[in-house]
Amino acid sequence: MYKELEGFKVKNQFLLTTEDNLEEVCNASEGSGVFLVFDVADEKELIMVGSTGTVQNDGTLKTKNGGLYDKIVNGHQFAKTGRKYSWPAQMKKEEISRLEVVWYETYNNDTKVIPTFVEAQVLQNFLSENAKLPRWNVAF
């Protein structure tokens, strides 16, 4: 779907319904990279892109404990509370029955691509195709 994501070897995905516990279904690694959120109830629609991990000027990576897993589960969105609470509430509000979350490690021992660079590429391509950002991305 997005050519900038094709080369990453460490990746996976999971589904989330409003009845699921995000902490339990999230299979994301503690590595650094990007994640894409799709509304898959009817047609597959990209609704959000996020990333975690910052590359320092000496080439090292600065990460928060928990990496992608923690960013997906506990990162704040829609409210000053973690996604494990805000995503199910937003799904109910928008009548979304199921999300698919796809994640990629973009910066590890084998691959060195800045997570926010990949996030920006995906968002730029979405913007070019749709003249707007995915609906759950407030700004970039």
pLDDT tens for 58-95 read 988 887 778 999 999 999 988 888 999 999 999 999 99
Indicate whether 92 belongs to any domain: yes
A 10 A CB-CB count for 72 gives 27
pLDDT over 80 at 2, yes or no: no
| Sequence-distant (≥ 6) Cβ neighbours of residue 117 within 8 angstroms | none
Range 30-48 average pLDDT: 93
How many distinct structural domains can be found in the chain? 1
pLDDT attached to residue 127: 96
Structure tokens at 118: 């990949």
Q: Does residue 137 lie in a domain region? A: no
Enter the pTM of the model: 0.94
- Model pLDDT, residue 39: 96
Give the domain range for residue 29: 3-130
Q: Name 12's bridge partners.
A: 103
pLDDT in tens, 10-25: 999 999 999 999 999 9
Q: What's the mean pLDDT when you consider all of the chain? A: 92
The answer as to whether 98 is a domain residue is yes
pLDDT of 1 > 70? The answer is no
Higher-confidence residue: 49 or 62? Answer: 49
User: Has residue 68 been placed in a domain?
Assistant: yes
90 neighbors 78 (Cβ within 8 angstroms):
yes
Q: What is the DSSP letter of 4?
A: G
Helix (H) / strand (E) element for 68: namely helix 67-74
Mean pLDDT of 92-117: 94
